[in-house]
Structure 1
Amino acid sequence: MARLNLLEETRFEKLPVTVYEDQREASVAVARRIATLIRSKQARGEQAVLGLATGATPVGVYAELVRMHRQEGLSFENVVTFNLDEYYPMLPTAVQSYVTFMHENLFDHIDIRRENIHIPDGTLPLEEIHAYCLNYEQQIEALGGLDLQVLGIGRTGHIGFNEPGSAPNSGTRLVTLDDLTRRDASRDFGGKENVPRKAITMGIGTIFKAREIILMAWSGKKAPIIKKAVEGEMSSEVPATYLQLSDNVEFVLDKDAASDLTRFNTPWLVKDCAWDQALIRKAVIWLAKTLKKPILKLTDEDYNAHGMAQLVTEQGPAYNINIEIFNQLQQTITGWPGGKPGADDRRRPERALPEQKRVVIFSPHPDDDVISMGGTFIRLVDQGHEVHVAYQTSGNTAVWDDDALRFVEFAIDFNQSIGQDGNQLKEMYKEMRHFLESKQPNQIDPPALRDVKAFIRKSEAIAGARYAGLPDEQIHFMALPFYETGKTVKNPVTDKDVELTMELLQKVKPHQVFVAGDFADPHGTHIVCFRIVLEALQRLRQQETWTEDCWLWMYRGAWHEFETHEIEMAVPLSPQEVERKRNAIFKHQSQKDRPVFPGDDAREFWVRAEERNRETARNYDELGLAEYEAMEAFVRWKF
């Protein structure tokens, strides 16, 4: 019976999928499977032939293999490896090369023989590539083929660098990279313009010949493409769908990457559910959106025809369910994000008391506060709360080089206008100019240049916070150490980051803390900063009683918005408040027009924010609630 139930749950899935709680657990499981293969081959005196992938996805697997080598004696002397791909052209010594990646993450830490390592050569003359690729295939075949191929997946659905349009029988070859792939790689190269346009990759046909294929994916960013690859029709537009033809493939996912699969996202379509309030709310909103009907117009027949007969049978009729969910949504809407004085707050998202609250808004970058919750920020100040904003990082990697020079030139001219010679500043300016003339992609700026970029972001943040109504003493710049590397790749978080956060919280003793919960941030800074605040609050909860009355709210907006069913507080904005929010965002001049790292959304931040806020309001309106100009949304973190 259990097997039958599993088949019913996974009936939309066209290949085997294993889901783990998080990527660490999944990575360890994959590493153990690789180790088992290596050891079984060793026992038979045979070589293990592995196909390896690069990128962020397999890093945890390689770390676990290194640990097993060091602590458990796992030997790689019998292992032969073939990497999937390499950029072209690409020097093996470049920091972005997959040769560098593989040595830093695996090969330099294990006992593999150097002659057993094969990575496509990104330095070949163009006319030699065809013969080289044929030879790459022949080397794999001469060893009896790949025993195990490890894969990641790109957001285009590529495996290796087999981009949309690749044939299922393709071999190792030179390919042109999709624009989205190049955008995703842009941060590693210091801008998309520096990302190579081509790559050498194993073909889909080469991958298919492996006796075992494991495709791994982590995080919600991969969820949409995973759904297409696992549940979609086979198509050259999503090359990973060709894996549906293999009998030897398994997708290994964390729960976030699996979150769009039918059995997790809309489980009522595949099985009977344990209907709690959160699931009922999600399902009813899904039904209303699917049918494009307000919630209060849904009927028993609508429920029965869309996989929700169990719900309407057990807890119906539909009218009662509709009223309950409509009321729940209505109660999330408040014009009083700090609580409404003198109101009955039993069904309001925030407490009425104390009437004037102490509030800390944590902003990972110097502009996230106004981009993501600028309207609520301004309203909290207008309604008399003691609001503090804490900028967790300097944001100094996200300023254009020529902007930094422009500000130094201004400082030189200003010094001269007041009779100062500014010789030291002029000398520093010359050094900056000299550095920038030969600067390589992602090369670390010298300290003085990093400082100038940080000062630019700081002055903009002050202007934005002042516009929102804050006095200077309630504007805090934390410069958390993990960020201050000068590199796009940051240092690990340490106790110092947490302790600085604890000190600020102890100073303010807030009733409300707002923190970025937008983990789709392509820089990864948001989730790091969120975890720092969470750890600081958890430590303080063991020590100080004021934390018992401190609520933690998560905001989004710069990259994605919460789903409607997730929202616990929706703050409506009038047209005038939307304009005030826009003006606060405009104070961040260095991020106007085109930011250094825009992600895959070409819109300016103020446009993104307004369109997302209007979309949130439109979603509420279409569900049958009041029509507002815009809304900012929040979810409360439960300790």
Structure 2
Amino acid sequence: MVNTPVPVTTRLNLLEETRFEKQPVTVFPSPQLASVQVAARIANLIRGKQQLGEQAVLGLATGATPVAVYAELVRLHQQEGLSFANVVTFNLDEYYPMLPTAPQSYVTFMHEHLFDHIDIEPGNIHIPDGTLAPEDVADYCLRYEQQIEQAGGLDLQLLGIGRTGHVGFNEPGSAPNSGTRLVTLDDLTRRDASRDFGGKESVPRKAITMGIGTIFKARELVLLAWSGKKASIVKKAVEGEVSGEVPATYLQLAPNVEFVLDAAAAAELTRFDTPWLVKDCVWSELLIRKAVIWLSNTLGKPILKLTEEDYNNNGMAELVTERGAAYDINIAIFNHLQHTITGWPGGKPGADDSQRPERALPEKKRSLIFSPHPDDDVISMGGTFIRLIDQGHEVHVAYQTSGNTAVWDDDVLRYMEFAIDLEKSLGRDSSELLNVYEAMRAFIGQKQPNQVDTQEIRNVKSYIRKSEAIAGARYAGLPDSNIHFQALPFYESGKTVKNPVTDDDIELTMQLLQRIQPHQVFLAGDFADPNGTHIVCFNIVAEALRRLKATESWVADCWVWMYRGAWHEFPVHEIEMAVPLSPHEVTRKRNAIFKHQSQKDTPVFPGDDAREFWVRAEHRNHETAEQYHRLGMANYEAMEAFVRWHF
């Protein structure tokens, strides 16, 4: 292959653009494209070693990140004849203790995603042993290191990155020269793994992992990271100072490392997040808003007090040159933000709506709120939900899934005991119910982590969440006739890993939309949901609307608003409608969230935020209002934010 020289000016521009980055970074539009390229790199290594009659020694990672890489390697084997006969593998880590046959074991993972589909020799596969007696672990770890050396050392080590900054299971505090050893897992790591184990309490507290020093010995290091969930830690790893608090920063000291990212994981790197600091920009309206808000927050000055000197001293002189005086830019951004604020989320009757986020007509709208789980509606937009009802709109809520995997087992027994006592108090025969209860209790007593519940238990968990959702919606003022439970089939697997979406899910959604014919649809746009349900539910509604648009005239007049709040909030420069809440409305929203008793105190899947959902929601709503205030707007108690989605 002929290498075409890169022009000097292009190389200089790239160096300037990436000057904050302390290690090589390659960014792809999507994880799939990146995975294909990484798999091709591994395949070339294997083939090159085959031609030399040598073994290719690979260090492999687990988790969701490398799955597409392994799928492409399997395809290359099955369709293009790539042989793994000369490949020796060493996995980074394994939970401890862990049976190799357990669904959560990395032995199971690697065989399901790679080893069972290729021609690798079983004796060439090495994965840390999670069944060892405690006294045998240290000697085993030493032998693992020796086996890597005897194989000739790692040619290429595939890595992921955890949100603690760990590589392998080298958590914060790990030493840069550490070897293979037994470690204690960070609480955030265990929370992130809770979905695979049916709750954090079932996640092992320890793991066996290759050390940073072991990883450094590999001749090539390729770290993969996808999605916005990893953007913050990627920025620290790539641009931050080397620190044991973020073990991935040690990779800055390696001469042979490359970070391979998708666009979402790279989003907080300086060249993407604040590009005006490193290069000339194409100043779109969205980028101007982002830059001016950034400047205001960086300097601690309201927008209308920013000066030309402020712009010039902070990498934004080009914007003033292109767009005119700083004060004119300030006024334009201030006015835009002011116009996003409305106390009328369904539109204000009889008002000039040219500068308002929602239309004035029709005065009374049909509003349909889609809630992925049975509590996302009140957690994320409870104040707006109540406001729409108070202002006389015909509001409907659709609970897309039963949420039955997120109920504690002891709640099932508690509700069953209540039902049995109720039967007895009414003089009815409770023997059949008692038999079901005893069977449930026996099952729960021997239940394994993430084991699928019996249908009876799943039903009770669904009923618990359904009753809570009804209570929350009723508290908001909604009549029972406007409460819809879809129980979309993709979710009803009984597992934390759900079934693929089918036309049944989309058809059920289309039928509901056709029946209501809403003027407004509210959708969860919070794709940071660690369980992945929000994005799936969003895509189902999006596809339903696309299909209906071809045949249903009302769809042209249907506006779609995305909400967040359960996990993250929209950045201010993206917000298109901000609904202020009074202190009384904040209290009403809190009371609606309290109706979801099974999710109170400690939910089954809390994600990376240990606070209760109502606390998270109030903090985010207060913070949104405070951000507007810091920029120079009125000082509201709280705000719920929305972004319009154009389909």
The two structures have a TM-score, normalised by structure 2, of 0.97
Deviation at 1:439, TM superposition (A): 1.2
Give 2:234's aligned residue: 226
Distance 1:318 1:345 in 2: 28
Map 1:43-192 → 2, pairs under 5 A: 43-192=51-200
Q: CA deviation at 1:44?
A: 2.4
For residues 89 and 418 of structure 1, what CA distance do their matches in structure 2 show?
Answer: 49
- Aligned position for 2:339: 331
Corresponding residue for 1:461? Answer: 469
1:123 & 1:432 partners in 2: Cα distance?
30
The letter for the 2-side match of 1:554 is M
SS at match of 1:82: strand
Kept in 1: contact 2:191–2:606 (CA 8 A): no
Q: Partner of 1:149: helix, strand, or coil? A: strand
Q: Distance in 1 between the 2:458 and 2:379 partners? A: 24
Aligned equivalents of 1:73, 1:533: Cα separation in 2:
41
Match of 1:624 among 632, 641, 644: 632
Task: State which drifts further: 438-447 or 10-19.
Answer: 438-447
Q: CA deviation at 1:34?
A: 1.1
Amino acid in the other structure paired with 1:461: A
Residue type at the aligned position of 1:83: N
Q: 1:331 aligns to what SS in structure 2? A: helix
- Pick aligned residue for 2:505 from 497, 500, 523: 497
1:347-378 Cα distance to aligned partner (Å, 9 max, x none)? 11111111111111000000000010011011
- SS of 1:234's equivalent in the other structure is coil
C-alpha separation between the residues in 2 aligned to 1:70 and 1:538? 36
Question: For 1:178 and 1:430, how far apart are their aligned partners in 2?
Answer: 37
CA distance in 1, matches of 2:487, 2:637: 36
Q: Is the 8 A contact 2:371 2:523 kept in 1?
A: yes
The amino acid that maps onto 1:586 is F
Matched, 1:257 2:265: yes
In structure 2, what is the equivalent of residue 341 of structure 1? 349
State the distance in 2 between where 1:175 and 1:25 align.
Answer: 34
1:634 equivalenced with 2:646 (yes/no): no
In structure 2, the residue matched to 1:318 is 326
Contact 2:154–2:218 (8 Å) recurs in 1: yes
Structure 1 residue 614, shift from structure 2 partner = 0.8
Cα displacement (A) at 1:542: 2.0
> Aligned to 2:489, what secondary structure does the other structure show?
coil
1:308 and 2:316 correspond? yes
1:594 to 574, 580, 602: 602
- 1:635 Cα deviation (Å)? 0.4
- Coordinate RMSD, CA, aligned: 1.1
1:489-510 CA deviation, whole Å, 9 max, x = no partner? 1111111111111111111111
- The whole-number CA distance in structure 1 between the counterparts of 2:170 and 2:414 is 43
Asked whether 1:210 is paired with 2:218, we answer yes
Give the match's secondary structure for 2:490: coil
Letter paired with 1:530: F
Unaligned runs of 5+ in 2: 1-8
**1:45 Cα offset (Å):** 2.2
Aligned to 2:364: 356
Deviation at 1:193, TM superposition (A): 2.4
Pairwise CA distance, 1:130: 2.1
Q: Partners of 2:85 and 2:612 in 1: how far apart?
A: 52
Aligned partner of 1:239 in structure 2 is: 247
Deviation at 1:316, TM superposition (A): 2.8
Map 1:438-587 onto structure 2 (within 5 A): 438-587=446-595
TM-score w.r.t. structure 1 length? 0.99
Aligned mates of 1:19, 1:50 — CA distance in 2: 23
Instruction: Report deviation, 1:116.
Output: 0.7
1:414-433 deviation digits (Å, cap 9, x = unpaired):
11222210221111011011
Which moved further from structure 2: 560-569 or 489-498?
Answer: 489-498
1:429 aligns with 2:437: yes
Please report how far the alpha carbon of residue 594 of structure 1 lies from its aligned counterpart in structure 2 after TM superposition: 1.4
Mapped contact 2:160–2:223 kept (Cα < 8 A) = yes
Give the deviation of 1:391 after TM superposition: 0.2
Q: 1:606, 1:331 → 2: CA distance?
A: 28
The CA deviation string for residues 216-236 of structure 1, in whole angstroms up to 9 with x for no partner, is 001111111100000001111
Letter in 1 for 2:315: G
Pairwise CA distance, 1:104: 1.0
In structure 1, the partner of 2:6 is: none
Specify every segment of 5 or more residues in structure 1 that has no aligned partner in the other structure, as ranges: none
Three-state SS of the structure 1 residue aligned to 2:182 is: strand
Secondary structure in 2 matching 1:274 = coil
Deviation of 1:551 after TM superposition, in Å, equals: 1.1
Q: 1:8 aligns with which of 7, 16, 19?
A: 16
Identity %: 79
2:184–2:206 Cα contact (<8 Å) kept: yes
Give 1:631 deviation, angstroms.
0.5
Aligned to 1:389: 397
> Could you tell me how far 1:197 is from its partner in structure 2?
1.9
1:294 corresponding residue in structure 2: 302
- For residue 146 of structure 2, what is the amino acid of its counterpart? Q
1:242-280 CA-partner distances (Å, limit 9, x unpaired): 111122111000111101100000000001111111000
Shift of 1:187: 2.2
Q: How many residue pairs are counted as aligned between the two chains?
A: 639
The alpha-carbon deviation at position 385 of structure 1 amounts to 1.2
Q: State the AA in 2 paired with 1:563.
A: P
Amino acid at match of 1:143: A
